[in-house]
């Protein structure tokens, strides 16, 4: 991860250079048809609270929210996302009547360019979604564009993110998921540092023979994302959607940090998973309850995942049903291929709603029970321990 640290040092120099320029103020007079487009490089600043969707369509842009509130979203649509910095204010993403709403801050296409994307000191609140839609996520980062991106880098730090619940109920066979705090799909060279995240609730299943939506994950690392560092984050996740009609299954609670599909080289350190969502209740014979959310979930296709010095507590209970759902584990690591084994050391768990606390290498309990207060001989400092 040394190259990530070097890139992070270079970001500080670029931020200082942009801040030295006088900003261009943005006011309500700049809003046209509910939108502002920043198509010229420069330093921009909100002069007051604004209701608009902002699109950044060029490189070399600093957008200083200036401790003001933007009611709307920010979309980065430039092919060359070089030197784009968003910082220092509040974003309220309003109620939206679409099935797949954009994140409060999103990159709309593959990342490209030779320099970083930085999102820092931003508070995000996403309202609920209507029109039978998914919950709105806080920040979305896609894959880099290999044709244009040689040294891309993404830094997300010091953000407070409360994301959207899905629409109240659905007549569709599968309910929509709650919003994720931060969603990475194929992203590379990303650092997420010192963020506080609360994810959204899954959708209620209102028709027969359906499934409630899953709660959103705090941070979801998906597809072939790689070189990702997640550190010093505090996370709470949403509950799974209940079933309200016959022969219907509850949704799963959201995971604190979820590493799914085939990511590689992901490091998770010094995070607090404060609480994960409970599973939704099922109704009718053969309709199970949803599972409670895990603190950290690592899918079987992942490789070289590192988890150390995290505290996981209060995982969600499984929902009622026939059968009932399973409670969430502290860490559920499904990687069972020796060359790809995860490296999971020195984590602590408390109040875990599953008999298995640390399920590592898909082989069952690998944690050590410690009394509270701790007594007896010293435990291996690299062991994963739990008190209940």
For the chain, what is the mean pLDDT?
89
Helices H / strands E in the chain, number of each: 1, 36
Q: What is the pLDDT of residue 283?
A: 85
User: CA 114 to CA 189: how far, in whole Å?
Assistant: 12
Give me the domains of the chain, ranges plus CATH numbers.
2-386 (2.160.20)
Q: What is the pLDDT of residue 56?
A: 94
Closest to 215 measured CA to CA, from 271, 123, 135: 135
∠ Cα 4 5 6 (to 5°): 90
Question: pTM of the predicted model, to two decimals?
Answer: 0.92
First to last CA, the chain: 34
Q: Which residues of the chain register pLDDT less than 70? A: 1-21, 78-81, 109-115, 129-132, 145-152, 168-171, 285-286, 378
pLDDT tens digits for range 300-359: 999 999 999 999 999 999 999 989 999 999 999 999 999 999 999 999 999 999 999 999
User: CA 91 to CA 243: how far, in whole Å?
Assistant: 33
């Amino acid at each position: 991860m040394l190259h990530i640290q070097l890139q992070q040092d270079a970001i500080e120099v670029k931020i200082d250079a942009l801040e030295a320029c006088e900003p261009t103020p943005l006011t309500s007079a700049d809003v046209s048809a509910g939108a502002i487009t920043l198509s010229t490089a420069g330093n921009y600043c909100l002069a007051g609270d604004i209701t608009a969707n902002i699109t950044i369509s060029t490189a070399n842009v600093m957008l200083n929210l200036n401790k003001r509130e933007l009611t709307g979203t920010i979309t980065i649509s430039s092919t060359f996302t070089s030197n784009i910095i968003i910082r220092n204010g509040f974003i309220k993403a309003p109620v939206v009547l679409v099935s797949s709403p954009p994140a409060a801050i999103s990159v709309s296409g593959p990342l490209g360019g030779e320099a970083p994307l930085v999102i820092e000191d931003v508070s995000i609140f996403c309202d609920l979604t209507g029109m039978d839609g998914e919950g709105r996520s806080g920040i979305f980062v896609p894959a880099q564009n290999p044709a244009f991106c040689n040294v891309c880098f993404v830094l997300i730090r010091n953000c407070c993110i409360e994301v959207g619940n899905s629409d109240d109920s659905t007549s569709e066979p599968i309910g929509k998921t709650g919003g994720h705090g931060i969603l990475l799909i194929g992203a590379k060279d990303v650092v997420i540092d010192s963020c506080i995240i609360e994810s959204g609730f899954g959708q209620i299943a209102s028709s027969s023979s359906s499934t409630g939506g899953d709660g959103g994950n705090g941070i979801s690392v998906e597809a072939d994302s790689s070189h990702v560092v997640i550190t010093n984050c505090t996370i709470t996740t949403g509950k799974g959607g209940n079933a309200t009609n016959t022969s219907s299954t509850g949704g799963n609670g959201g995971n604190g940090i979820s590493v799914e599909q085939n990511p590689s080289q992901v490091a998770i350190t010094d995070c607090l998973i404060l609480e994960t969502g409970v599973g939704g209740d099922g109704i009718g014979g053969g309709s199970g309850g949803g599972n409670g959310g895990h603190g950290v979930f690592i899918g079987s296709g992942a490789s070289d995942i590192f988890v150390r010095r995290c505290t996981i507590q209060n995982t969600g209970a499984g929902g009622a049903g026939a059968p009932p759902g399973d409670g969430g584990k502290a860490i559920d690591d499904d990687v069972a291929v020796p060359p790809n084994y995860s490296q999971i050391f020195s984590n602590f768990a408390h109040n875990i709603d599953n008999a298995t606390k640390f399920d590592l290498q898909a082989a069952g309990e690998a944690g050590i029970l410690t009394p509270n207060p701790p007594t007896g001989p010293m435990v291996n400092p690299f062991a994963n321990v739990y008190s209940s």
